[in-house]
Amino acid sequence: MPATPEGPTPAGGQGAGDGQRSGGSQPNRPADALVGEGVERGPVTAADNGGRAPVARIPEPPGREELPPAKGDSDLRGATPDDMEPPPDALLVVRGLKKYFPIHKGFFNRHVGDVKAVDGVSFSLRRGETLGVVGESGCGKSTMGRSILRLIEPSAGSAHFEGRDIVTMDKAELRRMRRRVQIIFQDPFSSLNPRMTIAETIREVLGIHGIAKGQKANDRIAELLRVVGLRPEHSVRYPHEFSGGQRQRIGIARALAVEPDLIVCDEPVSALDVSVQAQVINLLQDLQRELGLTYVFIAHDLSVVEHISDRVAVMYLGRIVELADAKEMYRNPLMPYTRALLSAVPIPDPRIKRERVVLQGDVPSPAKPPPGCPFHPRCPHPLKDADCAKIVPPLADKGGGHFAACIKVPLGAGFEGGLPVLQ
Ligand SMILES: Nc1ncnc2c1ncn2[C@@H]1O[C@H](COP(=O)(O)OP(=O)(O)O)[C@@H](O)[C@H]1O
Ligand code: SF4
Ligand SMILES: [Mg+2]
């Protein structure tokens, strides 16, 4: 029986779940999300490596048939995003993405551990789709967004953009890709040069990518400002002369200058007043319709992503723990964690009351994640048991493309036609 650093894997016993994961069509899929860190970094032999010198790598995780059988009412069934073929119109396909920040200590600067900021994230994004990504602060949302764009180097995994893996692109290809994929930050002020006017800022981007110069650039700047709801005379002003909402519009104009396909929006409205938030979100939605943009929209609040998202991914300690169609997620949240996040979202109708689920304790450190289900120390689920501290729940399709990483959510709990049941 394999043992993992997250604890020994349980053995024996069958329960309400059949104890085995279903659909063994791809037995050798990358299943590290299922067994946590049950793999050691090991050297690759010269034979493995086409005769070249050995390099360090994360070895292949065990196949599905090696997964521990579940006990009692635990249910490990359901295909994971790694099992599934990406849709034919997928613009971005992320697989097993990890970003570990090494921790060094002592006089000799020894490597004593890692902050597992992103720990095996997989999803596909269709062209024109918006994936909302939510989770408490520190759960790895920004690191995931930046790793996909390779603004920071991922530790493992892949991110295929139109079939080409961004993670392995050389510098020239990466530069070309940067025209297609942009990022908008929470605080546009810190990413705008205070000594450059708005026209100079956008002209610089147009020049770097060889898009336009001279009068053509001026025309393009005026057009971009119009598109984001600013006036042409704004172009001669400096960033400090604008309000927060206007600065975010400038950030959007700068991102649009290169005519991207995909924009990672990293908490673009979190610093804005609620009324201004709605204006910026409406602008992003209008632009998406007009320009066919695809978004990864990061927020720490489920209420912000509700209207803009086609699908929503909930992150916890570097992993996606629930992934579903947006409507399904809000009507039928399966994860206890998502239910707790949703219970904090105010309902505009005062006649409807929602019971508040208050989570105990803080988010554990990603340098020392709990064994088994990373949520188990805080989980209020009535069926939580010893399995939860041993098995890393797979992000499994519980029905209708509703993925949840909880072994106490039975297969079939996802909504597939008809009205979903919200308990
Ligand atoms: N450069 C870094 N070095 C070490 N740890 C980092 C670094 N950047 C982020 N982290 C850690 O990674 C975790 C995830 O951070 P982040 O991606 O910013 O979360 P979020 O955007 O969800 O708030 C946090 O624990 C954070 O402290
Ligand atoms: S979310 Fe709760 S019930 Fe589900 S696997 Fe984790 S600890 Fe167990
Ligand atoms: Mg962040």
CATH code where residue 92 lies: 3.40.50.300
At residue 217, φ and ψ (nearest 5 deg) are: -65, -40
Burial of 108 (0-12, 13-18, 19+ CB in 10 A): exposed
Q: How far does the centroid of ligand 3 lie from the alpha carbon of residue 238, in Å?
A: 26
Structure tokens at 195: 């000594």
Mean pLDDT of 10-23: 37
CA distance 81 to 395: 7
DSSP state at residue 241: G
Query: How much is the pLDDT for 174?
Result: 95
Q: Return the ligand number nearest the Cα of 398.
A: 2
Query: How much is the pLDDT for 307?
Result: 87
Count of CB atoms situated within 10 Å of the CB of 305: 25
Please report the sign of the dihedral spanned by the C-alpha atoms of residue 354, residue 267, residue 380, residue 325. positive
Q: How confident is the model at residue 190 (pLDDT cuts 50, 70, 90)?
A: confident
Ligand 2 pocket: which of 376, 383, 398 to mutate (most atoms within 8 A of CB):
376
Residue 157 lies in a domain: yes
In what helix (H) or strand (E) does residue 255 lie, and over which residues does it extend? helix 244-256
Residue 371 lies in a domain: yes
Task: Indicate whether residue 61 lines ligand 1 (CB < 6 A).
Answer: no
Of residues 349 and 41, the one with the higher pLDDT is: 349
Query: How much is the pLDDT for 191?
Result: 81
Structure tokens at 263: 């924009």
Ligand 1 closest atom vs CA 318: 14
Task: Indicate whether residue 4 lines ligand 1 (CB < 6 A).
Answer: no
Query: How much is the pLDDT for 189?
Result: 77
Query: How much is the pLDDT for 358?
Result: 81
Ligand 1 pocket: which of 111, 136, 141, 143 to mutate (most atoms within 8 A of CB):
143
Task: Indicate whether residue 268 lines ligand 2 (CB < 6 A).
Answer: no
Q: Judge contact between 124 and 140, C-beta under 8 A.
A: no
* Nearest CA, atom 2, ligand 2: 379
**Three-state DSSP class for 121?**
strand
Residue 162 lies in a domain: yes
CA distances from 228 to 231, 279, 281 (A): 9, 11, 11
Q: How far does the centroid of ligand 2 lie from the alpha carbon of residue 190, in Å?
A: 39
From the list 115, 167, 104, 111, the residue with the least C-alpha distance to 140 is: 115
402 pLDDT higher than 60: yes
Q: Judge contact between 293 and 260, C-beta under 8 A.
A: yes
Locate tokens 């604890």: which residue?
A: 7
- Model pLDDT for residues 86-125, shown as the tens digit of each residue: 999 999 999 999 999 999 999 999 999 999 999 999 999 9
HEC per residue, 339-390 = HHHHHCCCCCCCCCCCCCCCCCCCCCCCCCCCCCCCCHHHCCCCCCCHHHHC
Residue 415 lies in a domain: no
Structure tokens at 98: 């990890």
- Cα dihedral 326, 331, 336, 341 in deg (nearest 10): 70
Least confident among 15-29, 129-143, 167-181: 15-29
Least confident among 13-17, 64-68, 145-149, 392-396: 13-17
52 pLDDT higher than 90: no
CA distance 198 to 195: 10
Q: How confident is the model at residue 37 (pLDDT cuts 50, 70, 90)?
A: very low
CA distance 326 to 337: 16
Average model confidence (pLDDT) across the chain: 83
Of residues 416 and 41, the one with the higher pLDDT is: 416
CA distance 295 to 182: 10
In what helix (H) or strand (E) does residue 91 lie, and over which residues does it extend? strand 90-105
Residue 423 lies in a domain: no
Mean pLDDT of 8-32: 36
Query: How much is the pLDDT for 73?
Result: 82
Q: How far does the centroid of ligand 3 lie from the alpha carbon of residue 181, in Å?
A: 18
Of residues 45 and 207, the one with the higher pLDDT is: 207
Query: How much is the pLDDT for 34?
Result: 32
CA distance 252 to 256: 6
- Model pLDDT for residues 234-288, shown as the tens digit of each residue: 999 999 999 999 999 999 999 999 999 999 999 999 988 888 999 999 999 999 9
From the list 314, 311, 306, 381, the residue with the least C-alpha distance to 347 is: 306
Q: How far is residue 225 CA from its own chain's centroid?
A: 30
Q: How far does the centroid of ligand 3 lie from the alpha carbon of residue 31, in Å?
A: 27
> Using alpha carbons only, how large is the chain's radius of gyration in Å?
23
- Model pLDDT for residues 172-189, shown as the tens digit of each residue: 999 999 999 999 998 877
Query: How much is the pLDDT for 71?
Result: 56
Residue 213 lies in a domain: no
Task: Indicate whether residue 115 lines ligand 2 (CB < 6 A).
Answer: no
Q: How far does the centroid of ligand 3 lie from the alpha carbon of residue 125, in Å?
A: 20
Query: How much is the pLDDT for 188?
Result: 75
The total of structural domains in the chain comes to: 1
CA distance 156 to 340: 31
Of residues 34 and 202, the one with the higher pLDDT is: 202
Can you give the residue range of the structural domain that contains 132? 3-39+62-180+260-404
CA distance 273 to 266: 17
CA-based end-to-end distance of the chain: 38
Ligand 1 closest atom vs CA 135: 22
Q: How far does the centroid of ligand 1 lie from the alpha carbon of residue 366, in Å?
A: 9
Q: How far does the centroid of ligand 1 lie from the alpha carbon of residue 185, in Å?
A: 15
Q: Read out DSSP for 147-216? A: HHTTSS--SEEEEEETTEEGGG--HHHHHHHHTTEEEE-S-HHHHS-TTS-HHHHHHHHHHHTT---HHH
Residue 375 lies in a domain: yes
Residue 377 lies in a domain: yes
Task: For the full predicted model, state whether its pTM sits above 0.85.
Answer: no
Q: Give me the percent of the chain exceeding a pLDDT of 90.
A: 69
Q: How confident is the model at residue 206 (pLDDT cuts 50, 70, 90)?
A: very high
Query: How much is the pLDDT for 298?
Result: 97
Q: Judge contact between 271 and 244, C-beta under 8 A.
A: yes
Task: Indicate whether residue 189 lines ligand 1 (CB < 6 A).
Answer: no
Q: Return the ligand number nearest the Cα of 392.
A: 2
Q: Quick one: angle between helices 244-256 and 274-291, nearest 10? A: 20
From the list 37, 66, 73, the residue with the least C-alpha distance to 370 is: 37
Of residues 335 and 22, the one with the higher pLDDT is: 335
